[in-house]
Amino acid sequence: MPTAETLEKFIARVESNFHAEALAEFYTEDSTMQENQSPPRAGLAANIARERATLARASAVRSQCVRPAFVQGDHVAIRWIFEFDWLDGSSSRIEEIAWQRWSGERIASEQFFYDPAQMAPKKPAP
């Protein structure tokens, strides 16, 4: 179970848009991440690489934790809002729930729940 201090540090890191760094600092080496009902991605290195690839497609990212985060034993639920300005001039606003299982002070598994329609980039109005 994460301490309140560790959870706050994790949230602050993500809200500061240090997403890949947050993975390196707060996830286990064998951690898994899963998008909705897709098969989980295994391994910290693979998940960091995927995060970096996503962020490389954006000119700006804004990340917000919608409080409160809920903790029950080793499980944490966080509601996030992410706004992406993509390099092609489009944008996306994604609201999701992250369901995490912590192993001590690190995240061992995480599943994201969101509407996939949010992922479609929106072009700016003419």
pLDDT tens across 43-88, in order?
Answer: 999 999 999 999 999 999 999 999 999 999 999 999 999 999 999 9
Assigned CATH topology for domain 4-114: Nuclear Transport Factor 2; Chain: A, (3.10.450)
Structure tokens at 42: 């295994």
DSSP, residue by residue, 9-52? HHHHHHHTT-HHHHHHHHEEEEEEEEETTSPPEE-HHHHHHHHH
**Rg of the chain, C-alpha, whole Å:** 14
Percent of the chain with pLDDT over 90: 92
Amino acid at 95: E
Give the span between the Cα atoms of 34 and 50, in whole angstroms.
Answer: 12
Whole-prediction pTM: 0.92
Decide if pLDDT at 123 tops 90: no
